[in-house]
Amino acid sequence: MGRHTRLYGLQHLRFLAAFAVLAHHILEEASGSPLALVAPSAQRVGACGVDIFFVISGLVMWHTTGGFSSQTSAKEFFTRRLTRIMPSYWGCLAIVVALSCSGIAYRHVQIDAVGLIESVLLLPPTTSSGQIMGVAWTLVYELYFYLICTAALCLPWQRYRAALIVALLAGVPVVLNMVGATTQGQYYGNPLVIEFVCGIFLGAISARLPELSSRVRWLVLMTCVALFWWASIASPDETTSGLSPSFRWWTWGIPATLLVAAFVHTDDSGSRIGRALTVLGNASYVLYLTHGFWMNVFARAVKSGTFHSSLSLYLAAICVAGLAVAFSAAVHLYLEKPLLARLESKRSRIRQTALT
């Protein structure tokens, strides 16, 4: 499978996943108004975007390491992954902390020394306040995946590294519980980590996956959307934040895996829509991190009684979604992308110096 072929399909899907999470949070905020019309099952279905992200993450880990080959440096892999997620996250975290401490926004966020350290280092939260940034809970798992993959790359048995990753994902929570770190053990023992394993499995068989036509991909997409909706409706939970992990990992994890499999082999069509989706896919991480700022603004408008009809409420929601997407694209193009390029250049210079 060519690198460029994989990139386009996954980038398009990344944007769809990030936008699903955005829609989920917008509908949750809109539900605070007496004018809201959307049922709880419809509000939470967009949370399935996280499950798509986890499957994609596992697949990307397989391919960026060449199937966890001996040619991949564990240090280089871990450094590259940290460089990819941490600068943008720390920047957004600093903004949230500054806004909260100043009282301008995020006044509900409780900030203490322990919570701040856990948020900065993306550790499982041990206090009732949790992560300072709500979306950071997925990044805790993402960093955990990186650490597990790095540990596997350090082990000599290349042929069995994928199996070792599965063993580590299953064994680490057990060990943590045995040594008394039950909070961390329960956090890392979440069944959602199975979705990451599904992504690794897709990576291992991706060369054998058929290249689907555009019509078949759309059929798979619509089928998976229907399955996401079914799970959201059938869930016994009444919360809008998502599904219980024991129900979620298979009712959303299996469709997410099928969806990623369908988009693995996707060529760049050269169309404007395709190019736009690629750019937005590249900006999907920024969208995931920054959409909370727009949710804060929208929530304030909802609570202040700004809207006087359901139509105005949902038109405003659509406008906020558009602004969040446009803002994330601009931040990616003019801040994140240049910063990552500069960091990569600096890393390359350091590596060359070390070799001379």
Supply φ then ψ for residue 264, to 5 degrees. Answer: -60, -45
Three-state DSSP at 255 gives: helix
**What integer pLDDT is reported at residue 68 of this predicted model?**
92
Confidence band (pLDDT; 50, 70, 90) for 352? low
pLDDT (mean) for 47-64? 96
The structure tokens listed for 51 are 């499950």
Say yes or no to pLDDT of 1 above 50. no
State how many domains the chain has. Answer: 1
Q: Does 200 have pLDDT greater than 80?
A: yes
User: 299-347, pLDDT tens digit by residue?
Assistant: 999 999 999 999 999 999 999 999 999 999 999 999 999 999 998 887 6
**Torsion angle of alpha carbons 14, 16, 22, 26, nearest 10°?**
-170
Domain span holding position 251: 3-355
The answer to whether 98 touches 115, Cβ cutoff 8 Å, is no
Q: Is the pLDDT of residue 59 over 70?
A: yes
